Amino acid sequence: MSNADVAKVLVDLADLMEIQGANPFRVRAHRNGARTVETLAEPIALLVEDPERSPEELSGIGKDLSEKITSIVETGQLDQLDELREQVPAGVVAMLRIPGLGPKKVGVLFQDLGLESLDALEAAASEGVIAELKGFGTKTEQSILEGIPIARQGSTRTWLATARVAVDRIVEDLSELESVTQVSLAGSSRRLKETVGDLDVLATVAKGVASAEVMEALAGHELVEEVLAQGETKQRVRLLEREAGGLEMDLRVVPEESYGAAMQYFTGSKEHNIVVRRRAQERGLKVNEYGVFDESDKAVAGRTEEDVYDAVGLPWIPPELREDRGEFELAESGKLPELVTLADIRGDLHMHTTATDGTATIEEMIAAAKARKRKYIAITDHSKRVTMAGGLDAKRLRDHWKQIDKIRGSVSGIEVLCGIECDILEDATLDLPDDVLAEADWVIAVLHYGLKQPREQIDARLLTAVQNPHVDVIGHPCGRLIGKRPGADISYPDLFKAAADHGVMMEINAHPSRLDLDDLHAASARDHGIPIVISTDAHSTGGMDVMQWGVCQARRAGLEKKDVANARPWSRFKKLLRNG
C-alpha cells in the first residue's frame, strides 16, 4: 500500500473514533500520524519491512500507532476500522462530505438525534430540529441543507485521480494476459473529467479464446471487491472503496473489427456521439458500438477510432475534447489543438515548505523539483491571514526570503523564486503591504476565507488583487473543493477582462480536490489572452506529482503548450514577472 493509502485508513479511523466521542488526544494522534505517513519521503512499506526499523522512529508515532500502521501495510486493512464501520452506518459517514460538518458535529447528530442517513438529516433540518441542538443554530442548519446535495454527489462520484490510478493499474495488468490482444480505458475517465461516476474498459481476446478468461482474471484482481454481474461479453464489478471509492466498472470484450467503434461509442460523451451519428446519417451511414455501416448494413469502418471518424468526414478527435463544445468546428477547419502534455511543463510555481504548513525544507523541495526535471520553481508559503498554517508576517517572510536567496545561490540547474501565497482579505485588501510584495519575485493572490460573500464583494476583492502592480497570478480562483465545498460566486468575464488588461495570469491548481480553474473557465481565460499557470500547490515533495492532473484539466480546456506560461523556457517565462 502507498503512503496515501495508509494515511487514508488512519484518517478514516480518526473520523469514526471522533464520531463515537473517543478521547480527543487519541483522535488527534491518529490524524497527526496520518499526516506524518502521507508526507514521508520514503515508502512507509519499506520502513515496516526492514527488521531493523519501525514506524516508531517517526515523529509522533508511538507503539500503538506503529502496530496499526504495520497491520495496514502487511494486510491492507485494520480490524479496529472494520469494527467501527459496523457500528457507524455508512449514511452517518456520508454526512462528513457536507461542507463545514466535521466528525464531532456528525457524532452529535448520530448519538443525540439518532440520524443515520442523509435523508434523515435533511428531514430533521427541514423541520428545524437541528437548530435546537447546542452548538448548531439556524445558520448551521441552513448550511447543512445547502450542503446535503454536495454530499450526495460525493457519494456517487470519485476524483479523476483516484479513479485513474486504480483503473490504469487494472488495464495494465489485463494487458499482460496472453489471451488479451487489446485493452483500453473508455468512458468519462478517458475524457479526463474531474470526477468519475463509473468506469469502462474494453478488451479484445485472441481467436479461439473465451472471453470468460479475461473476466476471471478481472474477478480475481486485488482491486476488485465484488463481481456484480457477468454475461458472455460483459462483466460488471465493484472496486475497493479505499482504493477507488467503490466505483463500479464494466468490462466489455468486443470483436477486433468493432474495437474502434466500441471505443468511440463508450468513450462518449453522449452529446458528442449524437453529432457523430447525425453526420453519419447525412452520409447515408449509421454508427453504433459495432461499427459504421452503409445502407445495405455492410460494415465500412470500426476497427479503429480513426476509421470511424474518417467515415463521417473528420480527423480523429482527442477524447478530452469530445463534449460537443466546438470540437467539430475545429476538426472541420483543421484547427484541432495540439494539447499540452506533462512533458511540456518546465516550472512549478506554487509550493510550501516547513516555513508554514509544508513538510519539507527549502532544500528538499528544490531537490524534488530538480528530480522532476523542473527548470524553475517558486517557493510560495502562506501569508499571515492563514494562521492555522503558521502564515508569515512581513518580518518572518523577509527572513524566509533571505534563507531562500542564500540557498538558491548554491544551487545550479534550476531557478528558484522567492514567492508568497498572499490572501485577498474579506475587506478587499491584500494581506501584506505593497512594499513587501514589491520585494517578491512571484506573488500569488488567493481567496481562502469569506467564499460565501455576495458576488459584488468577491469581485471587488479579486479586482483589488488584479490591479495590484505586484500580483502575478490569481491562485485557485474560486476556492472550491470538489465534492466538499462550492467555490465563490465570481463574475468570470469581468475578472478575465481585468486580468488581461493588467497582465495578471490565472492558475489551474493541479491538486485533485481543486482543479481550479475548471476546464470551461480555463478555456475562457485562454480566449481572453491570459497565460495559464498549472501549479501543484505541493505541501510535500510527493505533492509535486499531482502536476499531471492539472495538465489533464488543461487538456480538457483545449490548451496548447503556447497557452501555458510554465511550459515556456525560463528565458521566456521570466519576461512575464511583474517584479522582474
Could you read off the pLDDT of 206-249 as tens digits, one per residue?
988 888 899 999 999 999 998 988 988 999 999 987 778 888 99
Strand locations in 240-311, DSSP E?
A: 248-253, 286-288, 291-293, 299-301
pLDDT in tens, 61-84: 899 999 999 999 888 888 999 899
CA distance 297 to 305: 19
**What is the reported pLDDT for 75?**
86
Closest C-alpha among 539, 465, 470, 467 to residue 509: 539
Distance separating alpha carbons of residues 289 and 250, to the nearest angstrom: 15
The reported pLDDT for the residue numbered 1 is 65
Output phi, psi for 444, to 5 deg. -100, 125
Cα–Cα distances in Å, from 319 out to 117, 157, 275, 304, 562? 37, 20, 15, 14, 20
pLDDT at position 245 is 80
For the segment 510-560, what is each residue's pLDDT rounded down to a tens digit? 999 999 999 999 999 999 999 999 999 999 999 999 999 999 999 999 999
| Domains by residue range for the chain, with CATH | 3-156 (1.10.150.110), 157-253 (3.30.460.10), 257-336 (3.30.210.10), 342-576 (3.20.20.140)
Q: Which residues of the chain have pLDDT under 70?
A: 1, 41, 153-156
Q: In whole angstroms, what is the distance from residue 364 CA to residue 370 CA?
A: 10
Q: The pTM is what?
A: 0.81
Which of 255, 254, 253, 220 lies closest to 237 in space, CA to CA? 220
Cα angle 229-270-342, degrees, rounded to a multiple of 5: 90
pLDDT at 388: 83
In whole angstroms, give the CA distance from residue 113 to residue 77. Answer: 31
Q: How many CB atoms lie within 10 A of CB 502?
A: 15
392 SS3 class: strand
C-beta separation of 65 from 9 below 8 A: no
